[in-house]
Amino acid sequence: MPLQLPFRFGSKSAETPLESRARQSKMMEYDQPLVWVTLLLMLLGMVMVYSASISLPDSPKFANYVRWQNTYFLQRQAMFIAVSLVVGLFVFRIRVADLQKAAPYLFIGTLVLLVLVLIPGIGVVVNGGRRWLSLKVFNVQPSELMKVVAVLYAADYTVRKQEYMHKLTKGFMPMAAAVGFVGLLLLLEPDLGAFGVIVCIAMGILFLGGINAIWFGGIGAVLVVIFGSIIALSKFRRERYFAYLNPWEEDNALNKAYQLTHSLIAFGRGEIFGVGLGGSVEKLHYLPEAHTDFLLAVIGEELGLAGVLVVIALFYWIIKRAFDIGRQAIAIDQTFAGLTAKGIGIWIGVQTFINMGVNLGLLPTKGLTLPLMSYGGTGVVINCIGLAILLRIDYENRVLMRGGRL
């Protein structure tokens, strides 16, 4: 019997079948670039929140609880990020199939929270809006929770009703009624921005799930009429809309378009490379809510066009990755997971577009934060939950493509 050497002269050593399979499978266990991009956005957001809020202790509005501590918002945002990462790790361990089973119950539970917000003595009023529930340590905003729950519910509904997607009464109307009820509760807070995002999530997932194109177009037209009517019938929203069309008119610039004009001034001062980190003038009590809704304006002033383009590129990468993961899941017959991943992409994309559009004067002023970056506990936690679900979907895709079991 000839002797079999473990190697050949002039070639690489022979591999066992196990070693060969290990060498061929170079797929990572999870999407590391997605994790790093998410962390980068959150940490950049924390730095910019600190920069944007450093002068707030001088304001009587914040003096009662800031107590002249310039690092108050930095410490809070760092705490929110730490909590978000812990919650995200917990959510990542939940199987996608379990999320699908829980989707209807999560939707009902979040509806209950939206009702509780409207009850005097339970709901917390901030800046004229009743949108929060107090947990003593920090306030919880159920409308933020509804965004990720709406993704799960719409994806589950589309899978369950797949055979009725081309029918109006059995396919679309039940979902429309559910979203309409959510919208009614949100408009009572009021929170038109969150309602708009949730409508986009539901409509986007239904469209991807195969709803009749004619019905979809007609429903889209009806939604435009509804939102137009809401604006037209509300004096406050109507004045804000017309102010957005002509922000530099003196009366508008001093009233309804005050935030927009100072946001545009901030971008103008930043030019290409900005005035330098910490050098913003607009954050010195000229631009209201600089650490929340108008954080991008501070980024534009301090880091310039270059900084803004980097932020846009990072968000674009996350959104594209969400759709890639969703397409991959659908290709291996994981329809709920695929629709959920794409729904998360729609949610992050729509909210980012609205916030950036408002900051840049492309859209009427609306109170929506920049995902992952703006100051706020509920927003950052919910964003991390959504991205943890996206990472879980990608993880299960990789396991299934290796031939493993969940």
Q: Are 363 and 354 in contact (CB under 8 A)?
A: yes
Q: What is the average pLDDT across 181-193?
A: 87
pLDDT greater than 70 at residue 109 = yes
DSSP H or E run through 139: strand 139-140
pLDDT of residue 67: 54
Q: Are 116 and 123 in contact (CB under 8 A)?
A: yes
Would you say how long the chain is, in residues?
Answer: 406
pLDDT greater than 50 at residue 2 = no
Residue type (1 letter), 243: A
pLDDT in tens, 361-378: 888 888 789 999 999 888
ω before 60 within 30° of 0 (cis)? no
- C-alpha 62/C-alpha 60 separation (Å) is 5
pLDDT greater than 90 at residue 84 = yes
What is the rounded average pLDDT for all residues in the chain? 86
pLDDT in tens, 269-300: 999 999 999 999 999 989 988 999 999 999 99
Which pLDDT band holds residue 11 (cuts at 50, 70, 90)? very low
Q: Give the list of residues 6+ apart from residue 151 with CB closer than 8 angstroms, or none.
A: 201, 205, 340, 343, 344, 346, 347, 386
For 177, half-sphere exposure in the C-beta direction (CA atoms, 13 angstrom radius) is 7
Q: What is the average pLDDT across 292-312?
A: 96
Q: What is the average pLDDT across 310-337?
A: 96
pLDDT in tens, 245-262: 888 888 888 888 888 999
Apex 103 CA angle, 139 and 91, nearest 5: 60
pLDDT greater than 80 at residue 18 = no
- C-alpha 197/C-alpha 380 separation (Å) is 16
pLDDT in tens, 23-76: 444 557 878 999 999 999 999 999 999 999 888 877 777 666 555 577 888 999
Q: What is the average pLDDT across 227-237?
A: 78
Q: Are 341 and 329 in contact (CB under 8 A)?
A: yes
Residue type (1 letter), 27: M
- C-alpha 311/C-alpha 291 separation (Å) is 16
Q: Residue ranges of the domains in the chain?
A: 32-53+70-402
- C-alpha 359/C-alpha 260 separation (Å) is 7
Residue type (1 letter), 249: E
Q: Are 181 and 118 in contact (CB under 8 A)?
A: no
pLDDT of residue 27: 58
